[in-house]
Amino acid sequence: MPTPDRAADTSHLPNKGGAGGPAPPSQLPAQRRGTTPQLHGRYPDYDVLTSADRWDHATRRVVLERVADVPEIRFFNAEDERVLRAFCDVAIGQTSDPRVPVLEMVDAKLHTGTLDGYRYEDMPADPETWHRVAVNLNRTAVERGASDGFASADTELQHQIVDSFSKGELDWDIPVTRAWGVVMRGVLGAFYSHPWAWNEIGFGGPAYPRGYARLGPGQREHWEAPPEFSVDPVSDVPKRGLE
Amino acid sequence: MKTNARLALKGSTRPPENDSAFLLDQHSRAIPGRKHMRTFAHDQSVDMLIVGAGAGGSTLAQRLARRGWKVLVLEAGPFWDPDEDWVSDEAGSHSLYWTEERVIGGEDPVELGKNNCGRGVGGSMIHYAGYTPRFHPSDFEVRTRDGVGADWPISYQDLKPHYERLERELPVAGEAWPWGDPHAYPHGPHPISAGAQRAWEGAKRLGIEMRVGPVGIANGSFGHRPHCIYRGFCLQGCKVGAKASPLVTHIPDALAHGVEVRADCMVTRIETDQQGRCTGVTYFHDGREHFQAADAVTVAGYSIETPRLLLNSTSARFANGLANDNDLVGRGIMVQGAPQVAGRFPEEMRMYKAPPPEISSEQFYETDPERGFARGFSIQTVGPLPIGWAEHVLADGHWGQALREYMRDYNHWFTVGVLCELLPRAENRVTLADQTDRNGVPVARLDYTQCDNDRANIAYAKRKLNSILQAADAQDILTIDRYAHLVGGCAMSSSAGTGVVDSDHRAWGVPNLFVCDGSVMPTQGSANPALTIMALASRLAERLGDRSATAGRRTATTHS
Cis peptide before A209 (omega within 30 of 0): yes
| Interface list for A 45-64 with B (CB within 8 A) | 55-56, 58-59, 62-63
In this predicted structure, the answer to whether residue B554 has a pLDDT above a threshold of 80 is no
| Interface list for A 182-201 with B (CB within 8 A) | 184-185, 188-193, 197-198, 200-201
* pLDDT tens by residue, B133-155: 999 999 999 999 999 999 999 99
Task: Calculate how close chain A gets to B348, using CA atoms only, in Å.
Answer: 5
Task: Calculate how close chain A gets to B75, using CA atoms only, in Å.
Answer: 18
Confidence bin at B14 (pLDDT 50/70/90): confident
Q: Chain B partners of A207 at a C-beta cutoff of 8 Å?
A: 88, 229, 231-233
Distance set, CA B503 to CA B278, B500, B533 (Å): 19, 10, 14
In this predicted structure, the answer to whether residue B519 has a pLDDT above a threshold of 80 is yes
**Cβ within 8 Å, pair A200-B475:** no
Q: Chain B partners of A117 at a C-beta cutoff of 8 Å?
A: 97-102, 112-114, 117
Angle at B513 between CA B100 and CA B101, to 5 degrees: 10
* pLDDT tens by residue, B332-352: 999 999 999 999 999 999 999
Q: Chain A partners of B240 at a C-beta cutoff of 8 Å?
A: 208-209, 211
**Cβ within 8 Å, pair B230-A215:** yes
pLDDT at A235: 52
- Closest residue to A14, CB basis, from B240, B354, B398: B398
Would an 8 Å CB–CB cutoff place A28 in contact with chain B?
Answer: yes
In this predicted structure, the answer to whether residue A206 has a pLDDT above a threshold of 80 is yes
Q: Chain A partners of B475 at a C-beta cutoff of 8 Å?
A: 8, 10, 16
Pick the closest to residue B70 from B547, B557, B559 (CA basis). B547
Q: Region B101-125: what's the mean pLDDT? A: 95
**Cβ within 8 Å, pair B109-A204:** no
pLDDT at A11: 78
**Cβ within 8 Å, pair B229-A24:** no
Pick the closest to residue B499 from B334, B335, B324 (CA basis). B324
CA B525 to chain centre: 13
What does residue A27 show for φ and ψ, rounded to 5 degrees?
-85, 0
**Cβ within 8 Å, pair A25-B410:** no
**Cβ within 8 Å, pair B386-A24:** no
Would an 8 Å CB–CB cutoff place A238 in contact with chain B?
Answer: no
In this predicted structure, the answer to whether residue B251 has a pLDDT above a threshold of 60 is yes
Q: How far, in Å, CA of B81 to CA of A225, rounded?
A: 33
Pick the closest to residue A211 from B192, B231, B228, B349 (CA basis). B231
Confidence bin at A231 (pLDDT 50/70/90): low
From A159, which residue of chain B is nearest by alpha-carbon distance?
B400
In this predicted structure, the answer to whether residue B1 has a pLDDT above a threshold of 70 is no
Q: Chain B partners of A119 at a C-beta cutoff of 8 Å?
A: 101-104
pLDDT at A108: 97
Would an 8 Å CB–CB cutoff place A218 in contact with chain B?
Answer: yes
Angle at B11 between CA B192 and CA B352, to 5 degrees: 25
**Cβ within 8 Å, pair A14-B86:** no
Cβ contacts of residue A190 below 8 Å, gap of 6+? A100, A101, A102, A105, A106, A109, B91
Count of A-B CB contacts under 8 Å: 225
From B478, which residue of chain A is nearest by alpha-carbon distance?
A15
Which amino acid type is present at position B7? L
Q: Chain A partners of B239 at a C-beta cutoff of 8 Å?
A: 56, 208-209
| Structure ipTM | 0.94
Q: Region B434-461: what's the mean pLDDT? A: 97
pLDDT at A8: 78
pLDDT at B131: 97
Q: Are B297 and B513 in contact (CB under 8 A)?
A: yes
Q: How far, in Å, CA of B506 to CA of B492, rounded?
A: 9
Q: Chain B partners of A162 at a C-beta cutoff of 8 Å?
A: 399-400
Pick the closest to residue B46 from B283, B266, B252, B278 (CA basis). B278
pLDDT at B548: 60
Residues in chain A: 243
Q: Note the pTM of the prediction, 2 decimals.
A: 0.95
| Interface list for A 99-128 with B (CB within 8 A) | 114-122, 125
CA terminus-to-terminus distance, chain A:
23
Side-by-side strand order, sheet with B513-515:
B260-262, B71-74, B48-51, B297-299, B513-515
Site from A183, A184, A215, A221 to mutate, B interface, most B CB atoms within 10 angstroms: A215
**Cβ within 8 Å, pair A215-B354:** yes
Q: Chain B partners of A63 at a C-beta cutoff of 8 Å?
A: 87, 89, 92
From B475, which residue of chain A is nearest by alpha-carbon distance?
A10
From A217, which residue of chain B is nearest by alpha-carbon distance?
B194
- Closest residue to A215, CB basis, from B84, B114, B353: B353
Q: Chain A partners of B232 at a C-beta cutoff of 8 Å?
A: 207, 212
Helix (H, G, I), strand (E, B) or coil at B201: helix
In this predicted structure, the answer to whether residue A124 has a pLDDT above a threshold of 50 is yes
In this predicted structure, the answer to whether residue A230 has a pLDDT above a threshold of 70 is no
Which amino acid type is present at position B398? H
Angle at B33 between CA B30 and CA B38, to 5 degrees: 135
**Cβ within 8 Å, pair B410-A189:** no
- Closest residue to A162, CB basis, from B112, B193, B399: B399
**Cβ within 8 Å, pair B399-A207:** no
- Closest residue to A217, CB basis, from B233, B349, B385: B349
Mean pLDDT of chain B: 94
pLDDT at A15: 81
Task: Calculate how close chain A gets to B285, using CA atoms only, in Å.
Answer: 20
Q: Are B134 and B213 in contact (CB under 8 A)?
A: no
* pLDDT tens by residue, B60-82: 999 999 999 999 999 999 999 99
Q: Chain B partners of A166 at a C-beta cutoff of 8 Å?
A: 397, 399
- Closest residue to A204, CB basis, from B94, B101, B350: B350
Q: Region B197-208: what's the mean pLDDT? A: 97
pLDDT at B10: 46
CA B258 to chain centre: 25
